[in-house]
Homo-oligomer: A and B are copies of this chain.
């Protein structure tokens, strides 16, 4: 473990077993993050359409950046020469970089996995590259995020055979040890990744394996894919059972919709990331409280709606503009639409996390679950999980 992270659970789960939801305080090189927390995704060193002030205004305190994308363009060495990722993108708050494992493995026919690493072709220009655990760590050290993540081999949870899951999970454990051995930066925390697909015994064994290694935090990988919510929740419970006395932060990668976040917090998760709130925003889908739940600004009826998207929302969209104006911007394909909509959905998501934290702090989380589920359910209806890629 490094000294680059301190995690204090401020409000532990109640002993009556009604929930595993907890509130914590994660202190990192560039600031403090209250958990449970959601990390907006800045794939290319920018959360699409937003500048750092916009991001702060949404309530974001930590963001995720994608190692695979930044390695290919503009290049990790270039970012290091320019002073590191924080300075490059002018974000002076915590950043987590993923390991690139998910993106590399998602390339399908473009990649070959062997025991030493993965050879893959760039989605940008078809050029051939190779990631090993050591290289993934070196790239992340060059980027200089507050938190790096061990290199892993995720599999699609529902579509993979037991043999595929077992092989990938065991390889992930060997790569976890190599990632730890390769990691040098004392000002950067390192998280390990639990795999194991939807196989209960493999997931439990993977949680045990990663629990036994000196990481600063623990990711649950290979979820937020093609599994059902029930499968995901059962799998999270298996992993958290193993980790129940582990003092480190727990991060469920790639989730998701407000309803999914809520259920995962209930089961003991501290950190999340997803492109979903921003991606659906750019398509004109705005998240608002019940009863509307979510509204599609491309719908004809909003062209004459003088109301703000959400009455009590402090975001730059809702403070100044009407639904009618945003509907017009989307129809005219004006760039401002994408920024305003993204600010709103991220504000909604981060406010939802704040409501969850407040309920846990006040000891009312189990009693508030029904109300929080209502707030999240309309937003999340018929919503498939969207993974950061």
Which residues on A are within 8 Å of B, measured CB to CB? Answer: 44-46, 48-52, 73-74, 78, 81-83, 88-90, 303-304, 306, 316, 320-322, 324-325, 327-329, 331-332, 334-336, 338-340
Contacts and interface: CB of A to CB of B under 8 A. Distances in A.
A324 B81 CA distance: 11
Given A306-B82, A340-B51, A45 B328 contact: yes
A339 B304 CA distance: 27
17 contacts: A44-B332, A45-B328, A46-B334, A46-B336, A48-B335, A49-B336, A51-B336, A78-B324, A81-B304, A82-B304, A83-B306, A88-B324, A88-B328, A89-B325, A335-B335, A335-B338, A335-B339
A74 B306 contact: no
B73 A325 contact: no
Copies of this chain assembled into the complex: 2
A304 B78 contact: yes
A81 B78 CA distance: 52
Contacts of A88: 322, 324-325, 328
Nearest to A338: B335
A50 B336 CA distance: 6
B331 A74 contact: yes
Contact of A46 (B49, B83, B89, B329): B329
Nearest to A321: B90
A323 to B, nearest CB: 10
Contacts of A340: 51
Given A51-B340, A73-B331, A82-B324, 8 more contacts: A44-B334, A51-B336, A74-B327, A78-B303, A81-B304, A88-B322, A90-B320, A339-B339
A325 B82 CA distance: 9
A268 B90 CA distance: 43
Contacts of A331: 73-74
A308 B336 CA distance: 24
A216 to B, nearest CB: 29
A324 B88 CA distance: 8
Contacts of A74: 303, 324, 327-328, 331
Contacts of A48: 334-336
A322 B82 contact: yes
A73 B338 CA distance: 18
